[in-house]
């Protein structure tokens, strides 16, 4: 099974002609709300693929469990602080400026992680405190689970965490903060899968580098592409597929996720994925 550790947010997307300069006011042309957060988005992607998925997260009293139907929420902790909030300003050119209020996510602690039994994949991201992620990595290592880390937003990673990471999945911006794939492998990461937007991804392993080409689709909104990629990668690894095949499926999932507006609206099913990847 897949256990996702990460943030749950509500997203407020505000469309503006231009992003307001400090001290000035801009009238929006529209707005929308929707569920978000890397943990929530990634768990939703796994569940959409039909995978058995549990989420470890903290949410506030305002959380709507219907936003994560088909995800096992029994390990989600109710926190007195409100659910995380992401305010996303999008200007006429499609550029964005994002402010995140961590809320309940800031209180996720090592004690919230709990035991891992059986076999599976832990998928973690960094919109929650690093000690909780480090605990998840340590428990995965001890239980023989595969640990996949999406280092977003990027911070310098402790060597112990890198050594306990089987697959590190940064995008190009995050990689610039983390260091070269070679240095990350030298520090002990098992593999580094760099996502390259429309160009697909590149798998770096001690044995060499493989590029998986992108899948051409009619892209309308790239929000959540990385989360769809990570969710599909974890799902495919959990089903026993080798990393190259999992990355091929993940590229297709990331591409399909860009074909509709919103972070979770276009997550593919397993049938849709396998139809695209032969
Ligand atoms: P992030 O969403 O974290 O910025 P990327 O932009 O690298 O990450 O996208 C993640 C993955 O989603 C890519 O590896 C690719 O497989 C897919 N993807 C993203 N944008 C496109 C696109 N325009 N066309 C096709 N696939 C895309």
Task: Residue 250: count other Cβ atoms within 10 Å of its Cβ.
Answer: 31
Specify whether 227 is catalytic: yes
What integer pLDDT is reported at residue 178 of this predicted model? 98
Domain count, the chain: 1
Tens digits of per-residue pLDDT, 175-210? Answer: 999 999 999 999 999 999 999 999 999 999 999 999
Q: Residues of 178-213 as b/e, b for ≥16 C-beta within 10 angstroms? A: bbebeebbebebbbbbbbbbeebbbbbbeeeeeebe
Does position 278 have pLDDT exceeding 80, yes or no? no
Domain that holds residue 114: 2-18+27-276
Is residue 39 annotated as involved in ligand binding?
Answer: yes
Give the CATH number, domain containing residue 117. Answer: 3.40.1190.20
Length of the chain: 278
What integer pLDDT is reported at residue 244 of this predicted model? 98
Q: Of all protein residues, whose CA lies closest to atom 21 belonging to ligand 1?
A: 198
What integer pLDDT is reported at residue 40 of this predicted model? 98
Tens digits of per-residue pLDDT, 207-237? Answer: 999 999 999 999 998 889 999 999 999 999 9
Tens digits of per-residue pLDDT, 6-41? Answer: 999 999 999 999 999 999 999 999 999 999 999 999
- pLDDT band, residue 261 (cuts 50/70/90): confident
- pLDDT band, residue 154 (cuts 50/70/90): very high
User: Which residues line ligand 1 at a C-beta cut-off of 6 Å?
Assistant: 171, 195-198, 200-201, 214-215, 217, 219, 222, 225-226, 229, 251, 254-255, 258
What integer pLDDT is reported at residue 254 of this predicted model? 97
Q: Residues of 23-62 as b/e, b for ≥16 C-beta within 10 angstroms? A: eeeeeeeeeeebbbbbbbbbbbbbbbbebebbbbbbbbee
Task: Residue 144: count other Cβ atoms within 10 Å of its Cβ.
Answer: 10
| CA of residue 160 to ligand 1 center, whole Å | 29
What integer pLDDT is reported at residue 221 of this predicted model? 87
Tens digits of per-residue pLDDT, 82-139? Answer: 999 999 999 999 888 999 999 999 999 999 999 999 999 999 999 999 999 999 999 9
The answer to whether ipTM exceeds 0.85 is yes
What integer pLDDT is reported at residue 68 of this predicted model? 97
């Amino acid at each position: 099974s897949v256990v996702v550790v990460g943030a749950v947010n509500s997203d407020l997307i505000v469309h503006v002609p231009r992003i307001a300069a400090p001290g000035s006011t801009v009238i929006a042309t529209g707005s929308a709300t929707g569920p978000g957060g890397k943990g929530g988005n990634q768990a939703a992607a796994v569940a959409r693929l039909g995978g058995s998925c549990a989420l470890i997260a903290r949410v506030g009293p305002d959380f709507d469990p219907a936003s994560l139907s088909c995800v096992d929420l029994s390990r989600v902790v109710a926190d007195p602080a409100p659910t995380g909030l992401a305010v996303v300003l999008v200007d006429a050119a499609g550029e964005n400026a994002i402010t995140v209020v961590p809320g309940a996510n800031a209180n996720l602690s090592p004690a919230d992680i709990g035991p891992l039994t059986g076999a599976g994949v832990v998928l973690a991201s960094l919109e929650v405190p690093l000690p909780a992620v480090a605990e998840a990595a340590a428990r995965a290592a001890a239980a023989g689970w595969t640990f996949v880390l999406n280092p977003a937003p990027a911070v310098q990673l402790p060597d112990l965490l890198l050594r306990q990471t089987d697959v590190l999945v940064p995008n190009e911006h995050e990689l610039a903060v983390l260091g070269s794939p070679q240095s990350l492998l030298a520090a002990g990461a098992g593999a580094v899968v760099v996502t390259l937007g429309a160009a697909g991804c590149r798998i770096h392993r001690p044995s060499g580098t493989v590029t998986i080409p992108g899948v051409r689709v009619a892209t309308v909104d790239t929000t959540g592409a990385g989360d769809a990629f990570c969710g599909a990668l974890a799902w495919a690894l959990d089903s026993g597929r080798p990393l190259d095949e999992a990355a091929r499926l993940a590229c297709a999932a990331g591409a399909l996720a860009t074909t509709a507006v919103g972070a979770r609206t276009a997550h593919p099913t397993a049938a849709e994925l396998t139809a695209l990847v032969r």
